Amino acid sequence: MTKIEIAEAFSHGKFDKIIEFITDEATWEVVEESKFVGKKAIIENCNQVSTYFKSVETDFKTLNIITQDNKVVVMGTAKFLRNNKQISFVSACDIYEFTDNNKILKITSYCIQANEA
Per residue in 22-69, pLDDT tens? 999 999 999 999 999 999 999 999 999 999 999 999 999 999 999 999
Q: What is the rounded distance in angstroms from the CA atom of residue 98 to the CA atom of residue 71?
A: 6
CATH: 3.30.565.10, 3.40.630.30, 3.40.30.10, 3.10.450.50. Which one for 3-113? 3.10.450.50
Q: What is the rounded distance in angstroms from the CA atom of residue 95 to the CA atom of residue 109?
A: 6
pLDDT of residue 114: 82
Q: What is the rounded distance in angstroms from the CA atom of residue 100 to the CA atom of residue 98?
A: 7
Q: What is the mean pLDDT of the chain?
A: 95
Q: What is the rounded distance in angstroms from the CA atom of residue 94 to the CA atom of residue 73?
A: 6
The answer to whether 70 touches 3, Cβ cutoff 8 Å, is: yes
Where do the domains of the chain lie? 3-113
∠ Cα 72 20 25 (to 5°) = 75
High-pLDDT (> 70) share of the chain, %: 98
pLDDT band at 116 (very low <50, low <70, confident <90, very high): low
Q: What's at 67, amino acid-wise?
A: T
